[in-house]
């Protein structure tokens, strides 16, 4: 089944902020985290239910070389995956329970 990916505006802000933060640490590092997150999203698209459900219906996928997790939920009725956050593992995702 081919799932559509929807990245929420909040997740886009997460990506931009993370990229900027890492670029300030070392030029080009921001592009690397974005690349790895995109690769993870492609993996999620192929196997949307392969990652653990951590909060209600929200799955989390770990980024291999950065301390980040992609948070998403799957609406199988319309074959759509919603990427709702890309957060550093030290951030508190309690807002996801709202």
For range 49-69, the mean pLDDT? 90
Q: How does residue 98 score in pLDDT terms, banded at 50, 70 and 90?
A: very low
Q: Between these two residues, 1 and 95, which has the higher pLDDT value?
A: 1
Give CA–CA dist 69/18, Å, rounded: 12
| Number of domains present in the structure of the chain | 1
Q: Between these two residues, 74 and 90, which has the higher pLDDT value?
A: 74
Domain harbouring 74, CATH code: 3.30.2310.20
Q: Which has the closest alpha carbon to 98: 65, 55, 67, 60?
A: 55
The range of the structural domain enclosing residue 52 comes to 4-91
pLDDT at res. 37:
93
Give CA–CA dist 32/24, Å, rounded: 13
Q: How does residue 12 score in pLDDT terms, banded at 50, 70 and 90?
A: very high
Q: Whole-prediction pTM value?
A: 0.86
């Amino acid at each position: 089944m081919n799932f559509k990916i929807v990245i929420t505006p909040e997740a886009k802000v997460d990506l931009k902020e993370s990229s900027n933060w890492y670029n300030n640490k070392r030029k080009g590092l921001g592009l690397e985290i974005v690349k790895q997150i995109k690769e993870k999203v492609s993996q999620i698209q192929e196997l949307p239910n392969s990652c653990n459900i951590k909060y209600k219906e929200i799955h989390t996928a770990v980024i291999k070389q950065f301390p980040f997790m992609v948070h998403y939920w799957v609406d199988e009725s319309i074959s759509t995956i919603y990427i709702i956050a890309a957060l550093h593992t030290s951030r508190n995702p309690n807002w996801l329970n709202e």
